[in-house]
Amino acid sequence: MQPDFAKGDGLLPCITQDALTGEVLTLAYMNAEALAKTRETGFVHFWSRSRNKLWKKGEESGHVQGVVSLTLDCDGDTILAKVRRHGPACHTGADSCFHEPLHGHGDVTLQELLRVIDERIANPDAASHTSKLLASENLRLKKLTEEGGELIMAAKDHDKAKVAEETADLLYHALVVMRAEGVAWRDVMDVLAKRRSGPRRSETQR
């Protein structure tokens, strides 16, 4: 199947998605020239409807998006670009352009948890448990150890509800430690991706 540019008067919507985390990043438009340039260079290019010109994502900010894969939808009129982003995807500085609530609260995701943690890093709140953890290395490492032990005990008791609860606690505290050390979730996913594609399978893939 080939892209059906005629359906959109020469333009097709292109959704970009972080190839490592799965987070939806942007929605912009490609014409045949933008698609060809994206394929040629390995970096996402779009067609600007407002400026009526071809542009490379991140050409001014440096926050380019390297292409991992390009996929058409079933009708051939929408493109999904899975990318490795270099910096924020949104011109506001946010990781994703989709960060303005319109209806409901949505699902609790890792990205949402990370945004809360990063907000506490930028704006500490003395009453916040997250801020207290970020302010004390001993406290956050102690809590991580405690939560790991509690998950082990829940699993030993074969208590499904408790396992879910303790896994949530452990994951949250692990994310706090990760961000306190300046490690991004993409860094973790990159390690897993490299292990997955490497010549030797690690214990996590066996």
Instruction: Return the number of other C-beta atoms located less than 10 Å from residue 45's C-beta.
Output: 24
104 inside domain: no
CATH number, domain with residue 170: 1.10.287.1080
Whether residue 73 is found in the same domain as residue 126: no
36 inside domain: yes
Among 68, 85, 102, give the residue marking a domain's end: 85
What is the C-alpha separation between 64 and 60, in angstroms, rounded?
9
The pLDDT score that the predictor gives to residue 115 is: 85
191 inside domain: yes
Q: pTM for the whole thing?
A: 0.67
Whether residue 70 is found in the same domain as residue 142: no
Contact (Cβ atoms closer than 8 angstroms) between residue 155 and residue 167: no
Whether residue 63 is found in the same domain as residue 141: no
14 inside domain: yes
Dihedral sign of CA atoms 105, 109, 115, 117 in order? positive
Q: Which amino acid is at 151?
A: L
If one counts the domains in the chain, the total is 2
114 inside domain: yes
102 inside domain: no
The pLDDT score that the predictor gives to residue 196 is: 79
Whether residue 189 is found in the same domain as residue 115: yes
% of the chain residues with pLDDT over 70: 93
Whether residue 194 is found in the same domain as residue 147: yes
85-111 confidence digits (pLDDT tens)? 998 899 888 888 988 878 766 556 787
142-187 confidence digits (pLDDT tens)? 999 999 999 999 999 999 999 999 999 999 999 999 999 999 888 8
Sequence-ordered alpha helix ranges (H) in 61-197: 110-122, 129-135, 137-156, 160-180, 185-197
Among 50, 85, 120, give the residue marking a domain's end: 85
pLDDT band at 206 (very low <50, low <70, confident <90, very high): very low
What is the C-alpha separation between 38 and 92, in angstroms, rounded?
24
Report residue 156 as tokens. Answer: 């030993």
103 inside domain: no
Enclosing domain of residue 192: 110-205
Whether residue 153 is found in the same domain as residue 72: no
The pLDDT score that the predictor gives to residue 105 is: 60
Whether residue 147 is found in the same domain as residue 199: yes
Contacts 24+ apart (CB under 8 A), 187-193: 189/20, 189/21, 190/20, 193/20
91 inside domain: no
